[in-house]
Chains A and B, each alone.
Chain A
């Protein structure tokens, strides 16, 4: 079945450094790739997304890249801050397939002050 692999599972960086989280998806029909940030005890919040007709998207300190051929997409956070510490989930979905979203296993990001 469809699968989304996410790496690393844990990432620790110093404040101000960059953080990169990578995901790979298996379903070639996937055409929408959101990233969610989940803080402890809360629901996931969408932070950025990218569609299959775009290779890169940036929003302030956050950027996402997509390589459709390799079925890879990545989240880049620059100038990390302690408040960026959270669990980040990548996901892939196929809108034509009933909007079913497959989530990665999550990356726990620690930003040390």
Chain B
């Protein structure tokens, strides 16, 4: 399977600051990456689809100006939470889809725990 890394694994920040989370596909190029948010004891909610070289596609209800996504290369997508507030505290997970004639599987990163004080 694919190897996906995220950095940082944990971050604590003050309210009003911005936080950048990186998602890297380590062993293959990805034109698409997905960003999810997961609140405690809840399922994964898709926030946006990150597209290399073009604008991200956001799910309904997700503020694109608050959650900035940049997919500058085929191996890196970043999610920036701008002007973070305590309600943005969550577990953010990226995934990389691997699609070929045999498979169409998503591989997830280890997640980033964001705590906004």
Contact = CB atoms under 8 A, between A and B. Distances in A.
A and B interact physically: yes
Given A105-B43, A106-B43, A44 B108 contact: yes
A45 B4 CA distance: 11
Interface residues on B, range: 20 to 34
A104 B104 contact: no
Judged by DSSP, the binding face of B is strand
Judged by DSSP, the binding face of A is strand
Interface of B: 1, 4, 6, 32, 34, 41-44, 46, 49, 93, 95, 97, 99, 104-111, 113
A95 B104 contact: yes
A89 interface: yes
Interface string A15-51: 0000000000000000010101000011111100100
A42 B49 CA distance: 21
Interface residues of A, number: 22
A106 B43 CA distance: 6
A43 B43 CA distance: 12
A89 B44 CA distance: 9
A103 interface: yes
B103 to A, nearest CB: 8
A100 interface: yes
Contacts of B34: 101
A79 B65 CA distance: 49
Interface string A76-113: 00000000000001000101001111011110100000
Contacts of A32: 104
A99 B113 CA distance: 25
A41 B111 contact: yes
